Every structure is written in structure tokens, then in C-alpha cells.
Chains A and B, each alone.
Chain A
């Protein structure tokens, strides 16, 4: 007990000192001090990792351009009709570049197709050699699976991004399954039968693509196959994008048996020397909004450190990680994340043990592993799938899950909060009760959530609450 107290005291002192140092440094650089950032981080300059293929010095923080701010406020999730707020995007990109962030990840599918254009506008205001652009050959609609449509998609990306080469090109979401196809079949139809992968290799030779890689979700057979090809020398992967965070490290397959632990994915890449780009370091924000008792545990260990920072430090610690992507909608998130990696304070062994304990607790919450990527949307029958899940998860995180079978003293209040909150966040006609189980969303979910099944479960729970 004594020793914990001592450590806490010690960290408090360090924290104070670090903050003072960071403020001092900020003043000296005549730079905007990072508002709201306190504690142990952000008192130096950005950590960089080297890509062994091209010797690119890539910032450990990568900017994910999938949740850009919109004019009406918030992101397209809250205001789907609103155009992107280009002024804010410009400001945030400027800040990112100024503070050493040089990796920008977009896709033809992001922000209802508007992300690449917006990214292009913001970045083209800066010298092309100051940043790396990553974009993707997306594969959501089988209509884009022909050679012609794929080439058009790539050419359009260049145009939208106002450049003549892409630094990092990804096969988007390999391993995702079709409505009645497994991952291998989808992959073959999308990239092999039509010669699209070979065409991309040609583009790499001609310099229009500097690094060729893939992002992976879902069917592990495809991941293994691509790495086998790499070993056989059939195709060379310059990098790969995987989902990694302290929950998925060990728990990905416990959460969903069809998924694979991040540990396996990372180790497979690392032993081949393929740099890993990390996505979902926060699991769609869920590791940033944890229940109070878990946050308390984390803050007792390190006061003033937000839970999200633990997750970013964790994702950035493995040395084979090239960059960690964060879909930053707001300036404050950007400032906070820049601070986290300026420089990176790697997770120590002791801290790693601690985070694994936290992962146990988060796993036990039994959240629905939705990251609100909205790939499933629009649901043809009008449901607001990500918002239904996020309400459910929010209630779990806030400890507001009334149990109709064992009502407690606060049952009535919690029931009311759950039901009213549900109606507030999701219009009645878009709630889980309207899921007909057509299964059209199933193949779109990168987390491979059985959406109709979860909808049914939530619907039954709501029904139970209403009847009690």
C-alpha cells in the first residue's frame, strides 16, 4: 500500500514538472501551447518510424480522414447531409503538419465519398514532399470489381487528391466476405481474376504507387494467403494495415470467434519485416469512453492521463508499427494525440500487465464491438445501426443496464434512462425492432458483427424493459 502511495506521489511530481517543462518548451518555440494537454507527454517532438522499403520517415501519428468535421457541426454521423467543413479540415491539417504529422490516410469510400477531395484540398496547400498520402482501392460494391472500374477508381483518387502519385496504396479490407462468398472468393474476384493486383504492381514500378499494401479485416485465410505469397516472392507487401489495441491483442477472437487476435496479426507481419499501420487503436472511440470505475483505476495509476492516451501509447509501442491512425474530427483530439506521440513514451512491461488487466475488465463489459465505421449504412430498411449499438454500449459503459430479472433499487431510474435515451438517440422507426433480418449488412461489417442477431438481442432486451 505504501509503495503505491509513493509511486502515485512520484508520478504527480513528475507530471507537474513535465507540464511546466512542456509549457516552457511551448513558449520557447513560440508555438501554440497545446490546450488541455497535461501530464507527462507532449514536451518534445514527434516520434518517427522508418519504412525499410522506401526509408520514409513516417510520423507515429497518422491522420485518418474518415471522420471529418462537417458544416452543421459534428461529423457526418450526426449530420449526414452536411458538407465537410473545409476550413476546419485545412486548419487541422495545417496543425498536424506543423507538429510533425506526415501520414494522411483516406479512401474513395470515406465521408460518403467526399474525404479524398477534402484531403486533396487541404494537403495541396503544402509542398508535396512534406507528407505521405495513403489511399485505397475500395471494394464495397461488386460494381467496382471490374478492371476498368478499378483503374477509374485509382485515377479518380489521384485527381481528387491533386497529385500524380500515391505514397501508400492499400487493397481495402481484404478478408471481408460477400453475401454468399468467403473471403478468398471475394479477394479472387476483386483483385486476381481481373488482373487488378498485377496492374497495381505495374503502377508501383512506374512510380505512381510508392508502397503497395493491404488493410485487413475478417477472414484470416486471406491474410495468411497474402503473407504466403510474400514469402514465396510472388507479391511483395511494403506494409499492411491491421487493427491493434490493448483489447484486440488477446481478446479479438474471444469477442468474435471469427476474428483474429492482434498479437497474431502483428507478429506475422513483424517476423517478415513488414511495417504495420495500425487502425482502430481506440476501437472506434470505445477505449476512450470507459466506465467510471475503469477510468478511476487508470487515473489512480496516472492522474490527468485520459484513457485514450493509454490506448495510443499501447498501439504505438511495438517497434514494427509504422504509424497509428486516428480519425480525428476535432482539433482537441489532434492536439492531444500529437502530444501523446511527442515523443512516444513506450509502454513498460509493468504498464503492459496493467493494461491487460484493464482489457479483462473492458472485455467483461460485453460491449458490442462496433467501431461506428458506418460501412453497414445505409440500411435498406432505414435502421440506424451504429447509433443503436452506440446507445447500447454507452449504457453499458455508464453502468445503466437495468436488469428486468433482478431489479435493483435504481432499476426504475435506469430503465427510464435507457428507454428515453434510446428514443432520443434513435428515432423510433430506425430502432432495432425494425430489423427484418435481411442480412444485407452482414458482409459489410469489418468487425464481422452479426448485426441482425445483435439487433434481435437488443430488441428483445428493450421489449423486456418495456414490459416490466
Chain B
């Protein structure tokens, strides 16, 4: 029974989180956006006390059920493990807890989180690791399907699917995602929940509480016939059948053992007597325990992906692709308050990148803000009516804002580059930047016999309409510099 409930809940959760990251429909974000917000680490980062208390209570009551039904990365690993179980039965065995490793990783994680060494924290965070996998690996596939449908619909005058541009936002993020997926797939295939019980900081943290949870899996020593089936089917390697013990720091309450036991010797419920904590001498670290982090670097060089180019038609002028200018300060989306706030709260899950309909957000390549979102305007600009990134962000890195509030957030300011400006180079009138500035921050003024833009930086909100719609290519004649902290007024 426990297993059935767990499986159903887990599948529902996995599907919802995946749909969220695929960006299937904005409605899913509106209705089920909460599944991102009840994730542990995002809740910590956004100081979401309500969710935190609920999660702690949940663990205190039921054990690490969070890892089995809420964490998408955990569920994903269960899928791999389950798949292997189809071929090879009874393949697990008990191994003692790697306390040392767990605590060191957790301690480092907490330190880095506080200090703000984001590259490492974002790599380890389970929820955002899953987000990156779906966003960078599966979303393009979904988009291809979407475009095929849109193509079909275009011939039948239907308007449910609109064609989207598929492009790789960051090669590094792509590589990180693929390495994460492969490493986890291998680990889960061979040893079940290894990652969750050795590396995952959330798992380690929750294990402190789960040791004292109200409901637990426990042995009925009298009924137990010492067949060992429970241990052989524990993907957390947490059951020591010889001693009739369960390691509650690692048990994720999946219910597999209950199902397997033919003698009804395992029960999930209150345990009257506090069980003796499993204390075995730690064996030396064996294979499969290697941090998948190491793998990330190794694979970087192996993947070379061609970026799809814009197609051009013959009777039409060729349009050169825009190239992003080098910005001294990266632009963070309205609602993120400041680069600092972004850096401290973001787990680089890519949910905002996935939700951005204007292709503005993409993962950062710089080391300190590794894979965290930043804005650039080669393919679109931050449209005034859109606040989607602020609505989906579960970690408080981008706080919710309304379109009205957004008009008062100055995320950056425009800078004019004289040498690219069309009225001076091509000797034609232009003014496309001024025409499209939503705040009227640009006025065309006389300069060297032409009308050129003059920017009132006090009015500029850094939306990038000017940069995106500037006819100068590949470098725009007007571009946006980020504000270190957004100006409000």
C-alpha cells in the first residue's frame, strides 16, 4: 500500500515538474507552479518559512518521504533503478553509512551557500540539477515536436501551437546537464540511491530529522525468517537484515521492502523502542562513490554542438545575426533586486530561462554566477507586459512583481555607440530605438547633420527594446549595461 501511494504521488510530481520545465503551457505554471516552490532548497533560499516548517514536519512524521515523492531528481533516479530492476532482481546489499563523506559535503555546501560560492552549490542542488536536465536536454526535443505540430497546423489554419526558435543558450550548461544525467543514471542503475545518501546536501540534512521520525519501517524480529529479500531490494542499501536493523538516515520510505517481505516481518508505523543507531565501521570508499562533479570537467571538451542558424530567403536582404556586446555588468531580470541577491538565492534551475517567452534569459557563463540567469537581447527584449520569470522563480532570486511595478524597475541603462549608428553610417533616417522605447527615455537629436538617439538614463529601465530593434548588425548601436543593484522609483 505504501509503495503504491508513493509511486502514484511520485509520478504525478515528476510529470508536473517536467511539464513546468518544458514550458508546455503557461497555465501549468499558474496552476502547478507550487511544485517548484515546495522544493527544499528553493524554500530555504527564499526564506519560505511555511514550506520549510511543513517539510520538516513531514519528515518528522513520515521520514524522508520528501526524497521519494517531492524531489524530482530522486524520482528520476528511482526510474533508472526500477528499469534495471526489470532485468536484474535482488541486486542490492547493505552498506554502512558514509557519514564522513556526507557531513563533509553538507558542511562545505552550507559554507559555500553562506559565502556565495554559487558554482558549487548550484551543481549539488538536486532540484536545480533536474531542472537543468529537462530544460537543456529535453526541452529542445519537446520544442521540435511543438514545431512539427505548428507546421502541421499552419497548413490547416489552426492556432494552438506557434513555432518557437530552438537554440542553445549555453554550451557549458548543456554539458553540465548531460554529465549530471549520465552520472546519475549510472549511479542509480547500479546502486540505487547512492547520490541521495552520500552527496545530496538536502538528503543529508533531512536524515538528521528522519532518524527521529514518528513513523518508521521496523522489523518484527519474531516473524523475520532472515531470508534477506528486504535487504536485496533496498535501493538505499539501508537494511541490515542480519541484525534486523534499518538505517533511518538513509531510508527514503519507498515501501519496496514492505512489499517484498513474504512473512509480514516489516512494518511501517510507530516504533515503541528507540532503535539502536547503526554504527558500523566505515569501509574505505569504493567505486561508484566518486563525485560526479569530477566528471563534469572531463566531458566538457567532448560535446560540440552547432547552433542552428537563422534561415535566409533569396529575394530578401540577408540579415546578419546579432552578437551580444560585452557588458561590464550583467543584466539580471526585473524582480531580482541586485546581482548580489541573484547570486545568493539562485540555484540555477533554469525555470526562468525556460519560462522566458522572449528568449532574453540565458544561463551565465561567468564563473561566479555560473548558470544563473542573465539577460541579453539578440533574439528579443524584455517585453513590458511579461513578468513570467518573476512568477516562476521558487528561490526568491527573482521576486514576484507586477507589470506595473516592472515599469519602475531600472535593471540597466542604455549606452549609445556612435560608430554603429545607422543615420551616421548609412546616412538614412532611423529612430527605431526611440520609437520602441516603452518609457520614452530616448529622443532623437541633431548631431553631425543626422538625428541620433540621446538617452535619458534616469528614465531607462534596461528592457533592451532599443538594442534588439536597432538595425545595426551584428553589433547594435545602442546596448544595455546592467545596474549592479536595480534602481527603483
Contacts and interface: CB of A to CB of B under 8 A. Distances in A.
B169 interface: no
A435 interface: yes
A197 interface: no
Interface in A195-232: none
B159 A381 contact: no
B162 A424 contact: yes
Given A433-B436, A433-B469, A437-B432, A384 B159 contact: no
B319 A430 contact: yes
B449 interface: no
A17 interface: no
B114 interface: no
Contact of A438 (B314, B317, B430): B430
A416 B314 CA distance: 29
A421 interface: yes
Contact of B314 (A81, A380, A424, A434): A81
Contacts of B310: 427, 429
B315 interface: yes
A107 to B, nearest CB: 16
B425 to A, nearest CB: 12
Contacts of B318: 382
B322 to A, nearest CB: 9
Interface in A232-250: none
B430 A437 contact: yes
A436 B432 contact: yes
A456 interface: yes
A377 B316 contact: yes
B159 A420 contact: yes
B356 to A, nearest CB: 15
Interface string B304-347: 00000011011111110000000000000000000000000000
A440 interface: yes
B42 interface: no
Given A80-B313, A381-B317, A429-B310, A436 B430 contact: yes
Given A417-B159, A421-B159, A423-B162, A435 B432 contact: yes
A406 interface: no
Contact of B429 (A77, A112, A377, A439): A439
Contacts of A374: 315
Contacts of A382: 316-319
Contacts of B298: none
Interface string A363-400: 00000000000100111111010000000000000000
B435 interface: yes
A81 B315 contact: yes
B431 interface: yes
A122 interface: no
Interface residues of A, number: 38
Interface in A408-459: 413, 416-417, 419-421, 423-424, 427-430, 433-440, 456
Nearest to A77: B315
B471 A377 contact: no
A466 interface: yes
Nearest to B321: A429
Interface in B410-438: 422, 426, 428-432, 435-436
Contacts of B426: 438
A76 B316 contact: no
Contacts of B313: 79-81
Contacts, number: 81
B316 A456 contact: no
A76 B162 CA distance: 25
Contact of B163 (A381, A424, A430, A456): A424
A80 B315 contact: yes
B286 interface: no
A437 B451 CA distance: 12
Interface string B383-423: 11100000000000000000000000000000000000010
Interface in A6-52: none
A436 B428 contact: yes
B154 interface: yes
Nearest to A456: B435
A430 B435 CA distance: 17
Contacts of A384: 316
Given A466-B385, A467-B384, A76 B428 contact: no
B244 to A, nearest CB: 63
B167 to A, nearest CB: 13
A436 B385 contact: no
A436 B422 contact: yes
A382 B428 CA distance: 15
Contact of A378 (B162, B316, B385, B435): B316
B15 to A, nearest CB: 26
Given A384-B316, A466-B385, A467-B384, A434 B469 contact: yes
A381 B154 contact: no
Nearest to A81: B314
A434 B315 contact: no
Nearest to A429: B319
Contacts of B429: 436-439
A438 B422 CA distance: 10
A378 B315 contact: yes
Given A421-B159, A430-B319, A466-B385, A440 B314 contact: no
B471 A434 contact: yes
A466 B385 CA distance: 8
Contacts of A417: 159
Nearest to A379: B317
The 10 closest A-B pairs by CB, nearest first: A80-B315, A81-B314, A438-B428, A80-B314, A436-B430, A382-B319, A420-B162, A378-B317, A436-B432, A417-B159
Given A377-B315, A436-B430, 20 more contacts: A77-B315, A80-B314, A80-B315, A112-B315, A378-B315, A379-B316, A382-B317, A382-B318, A413-B159, A416-B159, A420-B162, A421-B159, A424-B154, A430-B319, A437-B431, A437-B435, A438-B429, A438-B430, A439-B428, A456-B435
9 contacts: A80-B313, A112-B315, A413-B159, A424-B150, A427-B311, A439-B428, A439-B429, A466-B383, A467-B384
Interface of B: 150, 154, 159, 162-163, 310-311, 313-319, 380, 383-385, 422, 426, 428-432, 435-436, 469, 471
